[in-house]
Amino acid sequence: MDCRKGFCFILISIIPLSLGVGLAFIGGLSFRTSSSACSIYKAPLSTIGMSSGVAIIAVIIIGWIAFCSKSRGVHFTFVALAVLLTCALIGFMIVAYIYRSQARGIATDCVQKAIESFEQRTSNTTFLDILHDQLQCCGANGSSDWALKNLSIPISCCKKEVRGEKCADNPANLFTDGCVKKVESVYVSSSPYILAFLALVIITFIVLSSISCMSGQQAGKEELQEL
């Protein structure tokens, strides 16, 4: 019976583990190139993603250890941490849903701050270059943003096929859309899938907690019998 529970636990835990690995990998990959302008309560998004991923992975590993050690204490430690993570994920889902309508304002503030410090060659420079290149956009609302701040239009605002030293001198070579519009579109279109996956992860944590709780009770009975 314990082997069956352990197998089910490991199988189901793959779902939240994949989220943890994904967050840790993407957060770590973007750590050096993330923009300091894009943050939540002064914490860079890459740091938040990486920390969240590591926390999820750590909790899942504790759950695996609980089944290997058959310790009631480790089982209940996992359950307590899983409940905390579940509450955090529910909170994140609520915040993400509430702020969905404010995506444009958040994206505008983020991109505008990055533009202001672009020529200082900070992480904001790399962030905007990647944003321009991947979303095929320029500035917050268009190439005019750079002129309004008395800055030169960066090469990354040029279309890939004409990108060169003075490509920004010809308006026809530039991406016409602003990045805020593109970021908002990506966020709004992908948010239902993100929320659905998070809901699935929350359900799996509830199931894993139930399995671990039952195993912890069984381990406690066995410990009492041995006394």
- pTM value surpassing 0.75: no
pLDDT band at 120 (very low <50, low <70, confident <90, very high): low
Asked whether the predicted pLDDT for residue 58 surpasses 90, the reply is yes
Integer Cα distance of 58 and 17 in angstroms? 9
Higher pLDDT, 148 or 99: 148
3-class secondary-structure state, position 169: helix
**62, 43, 86, 5 alpha-carbon torsion, rounded to 10°:** -20
User: Which pLDDT score is estimated for 29?
Assistant: 61
Asked whether the predicted pLDDT for residue 211 surpasses 60, the reply is yes
Whether the CB-CB separation of 48 and 27 falls below 8 Å is answered with yes
Backbone dihedral region for residue 179 (phi beyond 0: left; psi -120 to 50: alpha; all else: beta): alpha
User: Which pLDDT score is estimated for 80?
Assistant: 92
Asked whether the predicted pLDDT for residue 119 surpasses 80, the reply is no
Determine the distance from the C-alpha atom of residue 30 to the mean position of all C-alpha atoms in its chain, rounded to a whole number: 11
User: Which pLDDT score is estimated for 41?
Assistant: 47
User: Locate tokens 């992908």: which residue?
Assistant: 190
Higher pLDDT, 127 or 21: 21
pLDDT band at 166 (very low <50, low <70, confident <90, very high): confident
Integer Cα distance of 67 and 59 in angstroms? 13
Which CA distances in Å does 202 have to 19, 62, 77, 90, 196? 11, 17, 18, 8, 10
Cβ neighbours of residue 210 under 8 Å, at least 6 residues apart?
none
Whether the CB-CB separation of 176 and 160 falls below 8 Å is answered with no
Q: What is the secondary structure of 13-56 as a DSSP string?
A: HHHHHHHHHHHHHHHHHTTTT--TTSEETTEEHHHHHHHHHHHH
